[in-house]
A and B are shown apart, each in its own frame.
Chain A
Amino acid sequence: MDFILVDYRRIRGLQTSGRGLISLFVDFPDMDRVHMRGRLWLEASSGDLWRDEGGYLAEGRPGFSEDPQLVQFEYRYAPSSYGIFTPERFEFTPSFRIRSSREGDFSPIERRIQEFAPFERFDADVQFFLEEPVQ
């Protein structure tokens, strides 16, 4: 397969509500200096998403030579027989301890790995039993 790599960087403010990854560190003190960047792998002819690797970074933190990551993520998909790429493996590593007293600590606090078996269509047998009402 032929994949096109697209680098991205969020330039508009991050949405700080809702259920996305951002909710993991919504109480970070400098939210306006948090940005997301990463890389997509898109199948050239279909545009199917094969891989997405990136993170949320805290920009311009004093004492850091590189912007520290608040969350690192990687999504991997695999071709399926259903005409789409289905999830194969997702990994999330949040690295910010807002609730600890170590505000400058950006070491990982958790790592969540989701692994998916091959997807299948729902397959259900349904039987109806009709009974005559009792007279």
Chain B
Amino acid sequence: MSCRIPHRRENVLLSAQQHDYGEFTLQEIGGNTLKTYSMVAQSMSVVLFAVAVVCSSAAAHPLPGAATALERQEVDGVDLDDLLARAATSARRYAEVIQDLTTEETTTILTYDNAGRVTGRRVFVSQFMIHRFTHGDGGMEYRHVLSVDGRQAGDRELRVQALARELANASSESEERELIDRESRKFGLAPGNVRGMLSSSAEGILSDREGFDLAIAGR
């Protein structure tokens, strides 16, 4: 099913084409340009209503709601909002599962002078895990340092036992954080700067979608 709707304002023709699964394609033909929009709707009448809203708008830009409905599907058949919804679900699963996992982590820190020359190199090997807070939700990175610059770290067993005792006696989440940060600083290893190890930008986008300009760049 298809129809063509003459748009009087700018000599633009809109052509609507219905596909399977309630998907519609709209083509806007103005001068030598052709723009294609996709949208999902229950019926052609809904599509026509959206088109009417767009066409009757006196402003150069369509109404925000209608524009979103029309433009969100535009790139490469990928709906950005649907993709972000899947990413948010994935991030929740990630946060849950990663807490039960551990691995060996090698951190290499290179320092440079003003001329860009390497002036220092440190290598830390740690057992990496997520400490679950007793007082509060979630957790934070904990690194049990095994070696520094190739030399075995001392008192490994005693350190972890002492930390476990102190964490058990901690009375707040901030105290737990401080104890774990202190353990990292003992070896000159900076405290974890990535909560839960999901990248801070991805976390920001998923928790504050409106705070970002987002665009699908390809696949």
Give the B-binding residues of A (Cβ under 8 A). Answer: 2-12, 19-21, 23-24, 36, 38-40, 42-49, 52, 54, 73, 75, 82-87, 90, 92, 97, 100, 102, 105, 107-122
Contacts and interface: CB of A to CB of B under 8 A. Distances in A.
Interface stretch (B7-15, B19-27, B87-95): B87-95
Contacts of B83: 4, 6, 42, 44, 47
Main secondary structure of the interface of B (DSSP, over half): mixed
A86 B98 contact: yes
A83 to B, nearest CB: 7
A107 B112 CA distance: 9
Interface of B: 76, 78, 80, 83-91, 93-94, 97-98, 100-112, 114, 116, 128-129, 190-195, 197-202, 204-205, 208, 210-219
B217 A6 contact: yes
Contact of A107 (B89, B114, B190): B114
Contacts of A44: 78, 83, 219
B94 A21 contact: no
Contacts of B191: 19
Contacts of A122: 100-102, 129
22 contacts: A4-B83, A5-B219, A7-B214, A7-B215, A12-B208, A19-B192, A21-B193, A24-B193, A42-B83, A46-B86, A47-B89, A48-B90, A52-B199, A52-B201, A84-B98, A108-B116, A112-B108, A112-B110, A116-B104, A116-B128, A117-B103, A119-B98
B213 A117 contact: no
